[in-house]
Amino acid sequence: MGRTHVSCTINGHEAEFLADAGDSLLNALRDEVSLTGVKEGCGTGDCGACSVLLDDRVTCACLIFAPEAEGTMIMTVEGLADAEHLHPLQQTFLEGSALQCGICTPGFLMAAKALLDKNPNPTETEVRYALAGNLCRCTGYDKIIRSVLDAAAQMNADQMNGASS
Amino acid sequence: MTEDPTTNTGFKWVGTRPIRPDGLDKVTGKARFGADLVLPNMIEAAIARSPHAHARIVSIDTTAAESMPGVQAVITGADFPDLKEAGAKQPDVFQAAKVMARDKVLFEGHPVAAVAAATRQEAQRAVAAIVVEYEVLPHVLTAGAAMADGAPLLHDDLITANVDPAPEASSNVASRALQQRGDLDAGFAAADVVIERNYTTKPVHQGYIEPHAAVADAGQDGRAHLWCSSQGHFDMRSSTANVLAMEPSLINVTPAEIGGGFGGKTTIYLEPIAVLLSRKAGRPVRVVMDRDEVFQATGPTSGSEMRVKIGVTNDGDITAADVFMAFEAGAFPGSPVGAAAMTALACYDIDNFFVEGFDVVVNKPKVAAYRAPGAPIIAFAVEGLIDELARAIDMDPIDLRLKNAAVEGVQAPYGPTHPRIGFVETLEAIRDSDHYRTPVAANQGRGVACGFWFNIGGNSVATVNVHEDGNVSVITGSPDIGGSRASMALFAAEEFGIDVERINPQIADTQTIGHTDVTGGSRVTLATGKVVVEACRELTADMCRRAAKMWDCEVEDVEWVNGHAQHASGTETPLSMAAIAAKAGRTGGPISTTYTENVRGAGAGFSTQLVDVEVDEETGQTKIVRYTTAQDAGKAIHPSYVEGQMQGGVVQGIGWALNEEYIHREDGTLDNPSFLDYRIPVASDLPMIETIVVEVPNPNHPYGVRGVGEVGIVPPMGAIANAIDRATGCRLHDLPMSPVRLLSAINDKNA
């Protein structure tokens, strides 16, 4: 049974792995590339815990066949911070107590990043709908929504400060 | 106790909102949950499960599976010790039978065999090659049907407990719960209005996002190491040892990060299977459930059938209550009907009541604890009926509750007399809230409901170490499911008077820390918090003694102030923890202590909640427009995580009220074992959940803590039913109040 060789860019670095034709990208990322920050909650695209950015688009990694990742650019939660600084979303999630158990957190962060990349100034309703594909059973979403709005405000303020200096 | 928690408000750390100690790992993907562990030489497992709700196992043929590629071990019920044969207690026999069926399967998804293979796919292919011959038996799915004469029996040796005289024949009724006081007939005779209603609820799942997972590494020496995400690794150890007839201490359980539990991860499913497969294969084995396995084979909470009758005078005195409950236990005894009987009327001071409950086995997965187990189910009925009574006597529903509210000195229905409690304060907080003072919109309805939960104490241990740099490790055995490490760090920071960032809270394995009860019953901040406080106090006293030695003075002349030993005369430079630690070798050795206690004196928890809903009369869909919850925390140690518990409980309750239910087909199989079809609330369904943290200190805790994890899920179903009634004129007595059910009620009303 031959395995497919897959080359792609993961978190800014060239990566390659082997996958069976039927393997999900989720399993490949977790088992072949050791990116266990990508979580499996359902395996059927219903919970969003495995959300990654696939060519900048938020995607459930469990719904993509691993060989489909050939030539793509993938970003997981492990690529969100740089060596010294957290992404503003990570910081506001911490400061806003937006996580309890934390299993859904990587997926929420990636879905929220995809939203803010496209819409830097979302309303509460827009945030709620953008994150409606991600399930959280601990928080009731309240502090997650607030933290995304806080991150948006902070990123906008940072950009204004950057532009004016 | 050095402070009176009822008066001391001068805390420096307690009550603040620092970043949680485990937060960084959780926002960067580093946190290791149950399925994230990889051991050298590890292989993967999969489980063969029953496709039938009730069947006799005629034969299991594993020969084809054993010779398939990659397969290293195959086990069936025959590989487990026969506990019944060995004369074990019935609950232990049942627990073992739940983990792996022996003679009969009792629910769809009941494990019948397991395979360990090089890869998960190979294990799954081998599972598909296991041939099980079943003799399908008639099944029974609801408590009422299971209690009826001639119902199919699940067990041939189940004798109803707590019935006098004990029945001679086996039945599906495992036990009877009873709470009674006063004269029921006289109570109802004194009432001006008596209303009686029937209620039903469906099983609902805890819905944690992390499926169950376990990794086991069994050695040739008879020992085993187990990694799993659970709410109590000591319980995982003792239960696994029971099933495998091992001495518990031969198993070391290391807790993984837990991706949600809500009560559902207080029991074993995979752990003994992983250990046995590992023993047979001679290699570490990982087993992880798929989501459909979680729904089919792990604990929902009970479906129920209830009847409640309450009498009230025209001026609002509740005179009597008569409650009947039949709870589905699933395939083995153990529904929370006993707790439901104790909590049913606990918000109120009622002289005459009779509360009877039955624990009934049915062909569904064995129920597991779910947040305030049993209380939300009966509260849906009682709180709905209280609202109907308030309308019948034309009284404000908060006033009716205030008039009958349990207060200090009232005997709780389940026996003890309430010490200081904060129920009235939660009612008043809602009555005085901006939400309640804002008029309800014309097309909306407003509902209020209350809830009670005991909260518990229990066994906890803390080891506290002061390091050479004066920083502190706080080690406990309580898995952190809601932010308890943050609370432990805050307690220690407060006691030592040092920055919270200098405290490192850790959760140790079962060989490293003493026995600690499960994280459940809202007990961790109270009980594990208390042992942390006491251990820190031992160390501040110890460091004062060491400072006295260093200064060559009497210990009475030394006091602990702001992280330093200070000489009463002011002549000595205060000694920091680092300075004391630097001389520890000369003053008594390393600075460390372990404190252990079976903590008593948990403070009862109360919640009052208020909701505005808007119902689409064309679709029957209910929208939650505004929601406010007031809850007595005793003392909020980390207020953000107290609010988080309150909000999370409310939203689980909203799901339970409006959408969530197990839907079974006629053949007894589950029709909706996925998050697509078992719909839990998502962000776009909800408004912000407004919180009012009430603080009526628990006099039995050094900081006044009561425990906050559970009671928030008790009121929502009643509150939403009351709001829907006021919005539509339709009173629903069955959960969930889904669009199809509500639309049918609206159409009936309009017909």
pLDDT in tens, B480-534: 998 999 999 999 999 999 999 999 999 999 999 999 999 999 999 999 999 999 9
Alpha-carbon distances of B409 from B416, B702, B705, rounded to whole Å:
9, 22, 20
Q: Is the separation of the CB atoms in A126 and A115 below 8 Å?
A: yes
Nearest to B179 by CA among B390, B372, B411, B23: B411
- Binned at pLDDT 50, 70 and 90, residue A120 comes out as very high
pLDDT digits (tens, 9 = 90+) for B352-364: 999 999 999 999 9
| A152 and A96 fall within a common domain | yes
Q: Which domains does chain B carry?
A: 23-31+457-598 (3.30.365.10), 374-455+603-750 (3.30.365.10)
Of B259, B291, B689, the CB nearest to A142: B689
A47 to chain B: closest CA residue: B675
- Binned at pLDDT 50, 70 and 90, residue A2 comes out as confident
Q: Cβ contact (<8 Å) for A99 and B686?
A: no
pLDDT digits (tens, 9 = 90+) for B257-292: 999 999 999 999 999 999 999 999 999 999 999 999
Domain count, chain A: 2
Q: Cβ contact (<8 Å) for A99 and B27?
A: yes
| A74 and A92 fall within a common domain | no
pLDDT digits (tens, 9 = 90+) for B12-41: 999 999 999 999 999 999 999 999 999 999
B119 to chain A: closest CA residue: A31
ipTM: 0.98
**How much is the mean pLDDT over chain B?**
97
Cis geometry, peptide bond prior to residue B673 (ω within 30 degrees of 0):
no
Please list every residue in chain A whose beta carbon sits closer than 8 Å to the beta carbon of residue B35. Answer: 36, 40
Q: Cβ contact (<8 Å) for B257 and A101?
A: yes
- DSSP3 helix / strand / coil % (chain B, rounded to 5): 30, 25, 45
Please list every residue in chain B whose beta carbon sits closer than 8 Å to the beta carbon of residue A47. Answer: 209, 291, 675
Q: Which two tokens stand for residue A30?
A: 């977790």
Read off the pLDDT of each residue in B330-356 and give the average, rounded to a whole number: 98
Which position has the higher pLDDT, B413 or B1?
B413
Read off the pLDDT of each residue in B391-413 and give the average, rounded to a whole number: 97
- Binned at pLDDT 50, 70 and 90, residue B310 comes out as very high
| A48 and A105 fall within a common domain | no
Q: Is the separation of the CB atoms in B412 and B750 below 8 Å?
A: no
| A73 and A97 fall within a common domain | no
pLDDT at B2 over 70: no
pLDDT at B553 over 90: yes
Does B683 contact A at CB distance below 8 Å? yes
Contacts (Cβ under 8 Å, ≥6 apart) of B190 = B311, B313, B319, B320
Domain extent, residue A69, equals 4-79
Q: Which amino acid is at A164?
A: S
Model pLDDT, residue A1: 56
Q: Cβ contact (<8 Å) for B483 and A81?
A: no
Read off the pLDDT of each residue in B337-361 and give the average, rounded to a whole number: 98
Q: Cβ contact (<8 Å) for B19 and A139?
A: no
Alpha helices (H) in B344-472, listed in sequence order: 375-392, 397-404, 423-431, 434-437
Q: What is the CATH number of the domain that holds A36?
A: 3.10.20.30
Q: What is the CATH number of the domain that holds A93?
A: 1.10.150.120
Read off the pLDDT of each residue in B326-330 and give the average, rounded to a whole number: 98
Does B70 contact A at CB distance below 8 Å? no
Report the alpha-carbon distance of residue B651 to residue B644 in Å, rounded: 11
| A116 and A94 fall within a common domain | yes
Triad B458, B461, B465: Cα angle to 5°: 155
Model pLDDT, residue B9: 66
Q: Cβ contact (<8 Å) for A138 and B644?
A: yes
Torsion B33-A31-B50-B234 (CA) sign: negative
pLDDT digits (tens, 9 = 90+) for B655-699: 999 999 999 999 999 999 999 999 999 999 999 999 999 999 999
**How much is the mean pLDDT over chain A?**
96
pLDDT digits (tens, 9 = 90+) for B717-735: 999 999 999 999 999 999 9
Q: Is the separation of the CB atoms in B335 and B201 below 8 Å?
A: no
A104 to chain B: closest CA residue: B209
Q: Cβ contact (<8 Å) for B683 and A100?
A: no
Please give the model's pTM, rounded to 2 decimal places. Answer: 0.97
For an interface test with B, give the residue of A103, A113, A129, A145 to mutate (most B CBs within 10 A): A103
Alpha helices (H) in B85-151, listed in sequence order: 90-99, 120-128, 143-147
Model pLDDT, residue A162: 79
Q: Which two tokens stand for residue B490?
A: 């805050």
Read off the pLDDT of each residue in B694-710 and give the average, rounded to a whole number: 94
| A96 and A56 fall within a common domain | no
For an interface test with A, give the residue of B19, B22, B25, B27 to mutate (most A CBs within 10 A): B27
Q: Domain boundary residue among A25, A47, A79? A: A79
Of A46, A133, A140, the CB nearest to B647: A140
For an interface test with B, give the residue of A32, A44, A77, A100 to mutate (most B CBs within 10 A): A100
Triad A73, A79, A81: Cα angle to 5°: 145
Model pLDDT, residue A160: 87
| A21 and A47 fall within a common domain | yes
Q: Three-state DSSP class for A45?
A: coil
A37 to chain B: closest CA residue: B29
